[in-house]
Amino acid sequence: MAEFQLYCFAQSGNAYRAALMLNLIGADWEPVWVDFFSTMVQRTPEFRNDVNEMGEAPVLVHGKKKLTQSGVILTYLAKCTGKFKPEGEDEELEALRWIIFDNQKVNGFLGPFRFLKNFAKPSGDPAVLAFLKGRAEGNLAIVNKRLTGRKFLVSDKPTIADVSMTGYFYYPADEFGFDIAKNYPAIGAWLERMKALPGWKHPYELMPGHPLKQS
């Protein structure tokens, strides 16, 4: 058995943050596939009792520890290994600030937008899609401005804030109907820097369940 198990699925940018971090730090890890779309295991009482009371992926298991919320998982892995760890209190707080902004306002809008556009049955109400897209685009512009003239979000080295922010950004442009890397050039350049890190993999290669079987 591998040292770490990660409950995840290929279409989840929230889980990708944790899977990418595990790969970037060279951890011995294995995925546990969450059948999110078909059996919707995450909504069963068993999953909520035994795996995550919040009913979400990702979940990281490390021996007796079970951690949820990608920001918590990233913080834990950075503390365990010293890799992608913000240095000192100011950087730690700055990383936390970007992780919260990402979870709530960047990938926090982009993820549900992509879900409603591609996977929801019935597919999302156009007004809801327009609202989510507008909020995601506004916040992508904020991230783009932050990354203009900077290599990474918090310091001149990549930290867990950068790993978190990658969330949904590498999924194909046709899943969003717009190209994040092209429309936001500073984000595009930063995505290339992240991609160049040893251990980087695309979410569809890193986690199980792609392509999705149509039911």
Ligand X SMILES: N[C@@H](CCC(=O)N[C@@H](CS)C(=O)NCC(=O)O)C(=O)O
- For residue 39, count other CB atoms closer than 10 A to its CB: 11
Q: Of the candidates 100, 55, 5, which has an alpha carbon nearest to the alpha carbon of residue 92?
A: 100
Distance (Å, whole) CA 89 – CA 146: 20
List the strands of the sheet with 59-62, edge to edge: 29-33, 4-8, 59-62, 65-68
Which lies closer to ligand X via its Cβ, residue 147 or residue 165?
Answer: 165
Per CB under 6 A, contacts with ligand X among 9-48 are 12, 14, 42-43
Secondary element (H or E) of residue 29:
strand 29-33
Contact 22, 29 (CB under 8 A): yes
What's the min distance (Å) between Cβ of 175 and ligand X?
Answer: 13
In angstroms, the first-to-last Cα distance of the chain is: 32
What's the min distance (Å) between Cβ of 42 and ligand X?
Answer: 5
Interface stretch with ligand X, choices 53-61, 75-83, 117-125, 176-184 (CB under 6 A): 53-61
Choose which of 20, 27, 58, 132 interacts with ligand X (CB under 6 A): 58
What's the min distance (Å) between Cβ of 185 and ligand X?
Answer: 26
Strands (E), 24-135: 29-33, 59-62, 65-68
Per CB under 6 A, contacts with ligand X among 61-90 are 69-70
Per CB under 6 A, contacts with ligand X among 91-130 are 103, 111
Asked if residue 166 binds ligand X (CB under 6 A), the reply is no
Asked if residue 55 binds ligand X (CB under 6 A), the reply is yes
Q: Residue type for 61, please? A: V
What's the min distance (Å) between Cβ of 32 and ligand X?
Answer: 13
Interface stretch with ligand X, choices 56-64, 131-139, 154-162, 183-191 (CB under 6 A): 56-64
Biggest distance spanned by C-alpha atoms of the chain? 49
Sites of contact with ligand X (CB under 6 A): 12, 14, 42-43, 55-58, 69-70, 103, 111
